Amino acid sequence: MPAISFARGVPAPECLPVEELADCARAALERDGKTILLYGPGGGYGPLREWVAAQHGVEPSRVVLTNGSLQGFVFLAEHLVAPGARVLVEAPTYDRPLKILSRLGAEIAALPMDDEGLVPEELERALDAGEPPAFLYTIPTFQNPSGRTMSEERRRRVAELARERGLLVLEDDPYGLVRYEGTAPPLLFELEGGEQVAYSSSFSKTIAPGVRVGYVVLPAALAAQIEALAVSTYISPPFLTQATVHEFLRRGNFEPNLERVRGLLRARRDAMLEALERHLPADARVTRPEGGYFVWVDLPSGPDAGELLPAAEAAGVSFVRGTDFFPQGGGGERSLRLAFSFVSPDEIAEGVERLASLLAAPAPSAL
Amino acid sequence: MPAISFARGVPAPECLPVEELADCARAALERDGKTILLYGPGGGYGPLREWVAAQHGVEPSRVVLTNGSLQGFVFLAEHLVAPGARVLVEAPTYDRPLKILSRLGAEIAALPMDDEGLVPEELERALDAGEPPAFLYTIPTFQNPSGRTMSEERRRRVAELARERGLLVLEDDPYGLVRYEGTAPPLLFELEGGEQVAYSSSFSKTIAPGVRVGYVVLPAALAAQIEALAVSTYISPPFLTQATVHEFLRRGNFEPNLERVRGLLRARRDAMLEALERHLPADARVTRPEGGYFVWVDLPSGPDAGELLPAAEAAGVSFVRGTDFFPQGGGGERSLRLAFSFVSPDEIAEGVERLASLLAAPAPSAL
C-alpha cells in the first residue's frame, strides 16, 4: 500500500460532488452571468449572502463572503491587531491563525483546554491579567486539531464573559455540520446574540474546499469595516464560485449531499477509533469526536512526536506533530493530530498499524 | 436617457462572453474536478500558471495567480512596505494602490508625468533624493487614469535605471492587449529581463472582470515569498475561476474574443474623442489613447472638478475627479477621468453634451 496520509485535513475525493457542481456552475452563469462576470459588492454574491444571513437570522449586510474562511480571519486580524496587541487562542489550536497572528506581531495568549474544550476559568484569568485582548479565537465544535467540542455549560459561560467584559469572540465553525452522532450544542453566536460573537464558517467541508467559499457573520459596524477592507484588497470576490454554491443550495442538493458526506466520513472516524483502540499502547489518550476530521493522540510514555514523524514517514504513514498547534514552545511534544477524512477505512486500519508498530518498542521513558 | 456613467472603468456588458464561459466552467469541472475542488498550490491552478509562464518566457513557479491583480499588489505591498517605507508612483495613478499604500503606512512619492508617461529625469531625481524606495509602481500602457502610454525611449531609460540602481519596479499592465490602433512598445519587463521588473496583469479586460483572475510574474525568490503569503492568506485561490479561464484559452477563444472586445471598445473610444473634440472648450486638454478604457481631461479655465461633479450628476452624467488619483493635495483639481468602456457610443455622445453644457457658461477665471 502506498503512503497513507493522516496529515491532510481534507475530504476524500469521493466526497466531492463534481458532476453536480459542474452543472451548477454552468446554470449559474447562464442565469446570472452579467452580474457574476462584472464587479460587485466586496461582501460577496447577493443571493448567497442572503441565504447565509437567513440561516443566522441577521441582515445580509452583516455577512461577508470570503475566499475561504481563512481570508475572513486575515481581514479581521488585519483590522483588529496592531503589533503587540494580545489575542487569546485555545491551546492547541489551528496552526494557520497562529502564523497569521505572529506575522501581524500579536502577543498570543494560549488558554488551556480539556476534553470539554476551553476552560472558562482560564479565560477569566486571562481577562483579569492584562490589557483587554483584541479578540478570542475559538473553534468550539470538533476543533482543529483536537476534535474536542466545548460543552454547553462552558459555552454559556464564555458567552456571558464576552458580554460582561466586552470581549470580541470569533467562533470558527467549519466542522459543526459534519456530525456523525449526538446532538449539536447551541452556537456561542446564538447564546450571546451576535453582538460580541462573530461567527465564521465555510462550504469547504459541506460541499468542497476548492470552491473557496467561506463567510463571517459580524456585528453591523465591524461588517462594514471588513467589507471595505475586502474591497480594498480585491474589489470583489469571485462571484462564480459563490453563485455555483448558491445554485447547489437552491436546487436542494445541500442536505442530501451532506448526509452522503457524513456517511463516508463516519465510516472513516469509526475505522480510526477502532484501530487506535486495538493498536495503541495502553497509556495513550485519544479524543473521541462525534464529528469533524480529526483525532488527537497523546502519548505520555513517548516517543517525542517530532522524532516519531520521520520514522513514521519512512514506514509509509504521516501525521502532523502536536507542536505545530501551539505557540512556539507551548506544548504538544508528545501529541499527534490524525486526520481521518482523506484516506479510506482500509488505509486507516493499515496506517494505524504502521504507526503503532513504531510505538511497540518500549520507549526510553517507559523502561 | 437615464444617468450615464463615465465613472465606471468596467467593460460594457456585451463584452462579456457569458455563454462561452458557462460552457467552459462546466467542461473544466468535468475534466479536472477533483483537482479544482480540493486545495492545491497557493500560486494557482497549474495549467493556467503554465500558460502565463509560457507567454512571458519564465518558469511557472515565477507566476502567482491571484484574485484579480489588485490582490497581487496587496501581497507585494504587504511583503515589501514597512511603515515609513518610500514607494514611488506616477502622478496621477490608479487610486486603489494609493489607498493600500496609505493603509500600510508608506511614504508615497509621486512622480510627474507628461504625455509620454513617467519622466525618467524625475525618477532619477527621486532615486537620488533619499532612502532607496521599496519599489516603483507604474502602469506604462493606457494608464489608469490618464490613458497615457510611456514612450519606448523612456521605457528603455526606466529599465536601465532599475538595473543600475537595483530598483524594484512593478509594471502593472491590465490594458495593454486592449489596443485599438498603433504598435505596442516593448514591456519594461522584457526590456529589463525580469530581474528587477515584476509584471502584473489580469483577464479582467480581456475576458471578464468578475472571474477575478489576475497574476504577477516575479523574480524567483520573491515569487516563493509571495506564494507563501498567499497560502497563509487563503490556502489556495479559487481554482474554478482559473480553470474556467484556462479552458477558454485552451479552446482558442481568447484571440477572437479579444478582437471582438477591441471592436466594441474602439467604437466607444472614437465616440468619446469625437464628442470631446466637438463640445469641450477650446482650452481643454484631452489625452488620445490608442487603447484601454480612459481619457483624461484637463480644464485649465475651470471649473474645479470637485464642484463640477455634483452638477454633472444632477445633469445625469458622472465621472471621477482628478484629485482621487493623486496623493492627498497632490493635484488633479481641474482634471477628470472619463471612462468610455461601459456605456454605448450613443450614450457617450449624449453624456459629453451634458457635461459640456455645464462648461459653456464662462467660468470665473475665463472672464
Answer whether residue A311 shows pLDDT above 70.
Answer: yes
pLDDT tens-digit map of B193-234: 999 999 999 999 999 999 999 999 999 999 999 999 999 999
Q: Considering only alpha carbons, which residue of chain B is nearest residue A214?
A: B234
Q: Which pLDDT value is given to residue B366?
A: 43
Asked if B235 and A103 come within 8 Å (Cβ–Cβ), the reply is no
Q: Which of A101, A103, A207, A212 to mutate to test the interface with B (most CBs of B within 10 A)?
A: A212
Contact indicator for A6, A318 with CB cutoff of 8 Å: yes
CA distance A177 to A172: 12
Residue A201: which residues within 8 A CB-CB, separation 6 or more?
A: A69, A172, A173, A174, A176, A214, A215
pLDDT tens-digit map of A70-82: 999 999 999 999 9
Query: In angstroms, what separates the C-alpha of B230 from chain A's closest C-alpha?
Result: 10
Q: Which of B225, B233, B242, B343 to mutate to test the interface with A (most CBs of A within 10 A)?
A: B233
Cis peptide before A92 (omega within 30 of 0): yes
Of B16, B25, B96, the CB nearest to A232: B96
The one-character DSSP state at A325 is G
Query: In angstroms, what separates the C-alpha of B351 from chain A's closest C-alpha?
Result: 22
Contact indicator for A214, A67 with CB cutoff of 8 Å: yes
Query: In angstroms, what separates the C-alpha of A36 from chain B's closest C-alpha?
Result: 6
Q: Which pLDDT value is given to residue B367?
A: 43
Q: Residue B236: how many CB atoms within 10 A of its CB? A: 22
Of B29, B70, B208, the CB nearest to A18: B29
Asked if B212 and A37 come within 8 Å (Cβ–Cβ), the reply is no
CA distance B293 to B203: 14
Asked if A232 and B99 come within 8 Å (Cβ–Cβ), the reply is yes
Q: Which pLDDT value is given to residue B361?
A: 59
Q: What is the mean pLDDT of chain B?
A: 96
CA distance B287 to A348: 67
Amino acid at A331: G
3-state secondary structure of B9: coil
Of B16, B71, B233, the CB nearest to A33: B16
Q: Considering only alpha carbons, which residue of chain B is nearest residue A35?
A: B210
Asked if B240 and A211 come within 8 Å (Cβ–Cβ), the reply is yes
Q: Residue B214: how many CB atoms within 10 A of its CB? A: 26
pLDDT tens-digit map of B151-174: 999 999 999 999 999 999 999 999
* A241 contacts in chain B (CB < 8 Å): 238, 240-241
Query: In angstroms, what separates the C-alpha of B67 from chain A's closest C-alpha?
Result: 6
Asked if A22 and B29 come within 8 Å (Cβ–Cβ), the reply is yes
Of A21, A27, A37, the CB nearest to B211: A37
Task: Grade residue B331 by pLDDT with cuts at 50, 70 and 90.
Answer: very high
Cell of A108: 498570543
> What's the rounded mean pLDDT across residues A306-334?
96
Asked if B96 and A235 come within 8 Å (Cβ–Cβ), the reply is yes
Q: Considering only alpha carbons, which residue of chain B is nearest residue A40?
A: B210
User: With pLDDT > 70 as the criterion, what percentage of chain A qualifies?
Assistant: 98
* B39 contacts in chain A (CB < 8 Å): 10, 209-210
Q: Which of B15, B18, B19, B29 to mutate to test the interface with A (most CBs of A within 10 A)?
A: B29
Answer whether residue B365 shows pLDDT above 80.
Answer: no
Asked if A16 and B38 come within 8 Å (Cβ–Cβ), the reply is yes
Asked if A99 and B232 come within 8 Å (Cβ–Cβ), the reply is yes
Of B21, B37, B74, the CB nearest to A18: B37
Q: Which pLDDT value is given to residue A362?
A: 53
Query: In angstroms, what separates the C-alpha of A120 from chain B's closest C-alpha?
Result: 30
Answer whether residue A325 shows pLDDT above 90.
Answer: yes
Q: Considering only alpha carbons, which residue of chain B is nearest residue A342?
A: B38
Question: So what's the ipTM on this one?
Answer: 0.95
Q: Which of B20, B24, B26 to mutate to test the interface with A (most CBs of A within 10 A)?
A: B26
Strand ranges in chain A using DSSP code E only, listed in sequence order? 4-5, 63-67, 86-91, 107-114, 117-118, 135-138, 169-172, 197-202, 213-217, 285-286, 294-298, 317-318, 320-321, 335-339
Answer whether residue A363 shows pLDDT above 80.
Answer: no
> What's the rounded mean pLDDT across residues A57-68?
98
Asked if B208 and A68 come within 8 Å (Cβ–Cβ), the reply is no
Residue B135: which residues within 8 A CB-CB, separation 6 or more?
A: B76, B80, B87, B88, B167, B168, B169, B170
Asked if A210 and B236 come within 8 Å (Cβ–Cβ), the reply is yes
Q: Considering only alpha carbons, which residue of chain A is nearest residue B209?
A: A38
Lay out the sheet containing B107-114: strands in order across.
B63-67, B213-217, B197-202, B169-172, B135-138, B86-91, B107-114, B117-118
Closest CA to A75 of A228, A235, A239: A228
What are the C-alpha distances in Å from B231 to residues A28, B226, B242? 28, 9, 16
pLDDT tens-digit map of A175-186: 999 999 999 999
> What's the rounded mean pLDDT across residues B278-302?
96
For cell 535605471, name the residue: B161
Q: Which pLDDT value is given to residue A1?
A: 72
Of A100, A240, A244, the CB nearest to B210: A240
pLDDT tens-digit map of B23-74: 999 999 999 999 999 999 999 999 999 999 999 999 999 999 999 999 999 9
Higher model confidence: residue B305 or residue B302?
A: B305
CA distance A72 to A70: 5
pLDDT tens-digit map of B343-358: 999 999 999 999 999 9
Asked if B210 and A39 come within 8 Å (Cβ–Cβ), the reply is yes
Answer whether residue B364 shows pLDDT above 70.
Answer: no
pLDDT tens-digit map of B64-89: 999 999 999 999 999 999 999 999 99
CA distance B262 to B115: 23
* B103 contacts in chain A (CB < 8 Å): 232
Asked if B234 and A212 come within 8 Å (Cβ–Cβ), the reply is yes
Closest CA to A93 of A340, A330, A300: A330
Q: Which of B19, B24, B32, B38 to mutate to test the interface with A (most CBs of A within 10 A)?
A: B38
> What's the rounded mean pLDDT across residues A42-47?
98
Of A23, A27, A68, the CB nearest to B234: A68
For cell 484637463, name the residue: B298
> What's the rounded mean pLDDT across residues B260-271?
98
Cell of B10: 468596467
Asked if A30 and B40 come within 8 Å (Cβ–Cβ), the reply is no
Query: In angstroms, what separates the C-alpha of B75 from chain A's closest C-alpha?
Result: 9
Task: Grade residue B362 by pLDDT with cuts at 50, 70 and 90.
Answer: low
Asked if B29 and A21 come within 8 Å (Cβ–Cβ), the reply is yes
Asked if B209 and A29 come within 8 Å (Cβ–Cβ), the reply is no
* A21 contacts in chain B (CB < 8 Å): 29, 33, 37
Q: Which pLDDT value is given to residue A361?
A: 59
User: With pLDDT > 90 as the criterion, what percentage of chain A qualifies?
Assistant: 95
* B27 contacts in chain A (CB < 8 Å): 22
Q: Which of A65, A234, A341 to mutate to test the interface with B (most CBs of B within 10 A)?
A: A234
Query: In angstroms, what separates the C-alpha of A247 from chain B's closest C-alpha?
Result: 13
Task: Grade residue B363 by pLDDT with cuts at 50, 70 and 90.
Answer: very low
Closest CA to A200 of A318, A108, A96, A346: A96
Asked if B67 and A22 come within 8 Å (Cβ–Cβ), the reply is no
Query: In angstroms, what separates the C-alpha of B312 from chain A's closest C-alpha?
Result: 24
Burial class (CB in 10 A: 0-12, 13-18, 19+), B297: buried
Answer whether residue A140 shows pLDDT above 70.
Answer: yes
Answer whether residue B10 shows pLDDT above 80.
Answer: yes
Of A23, A235, A240, the CB nearest to B68: A235
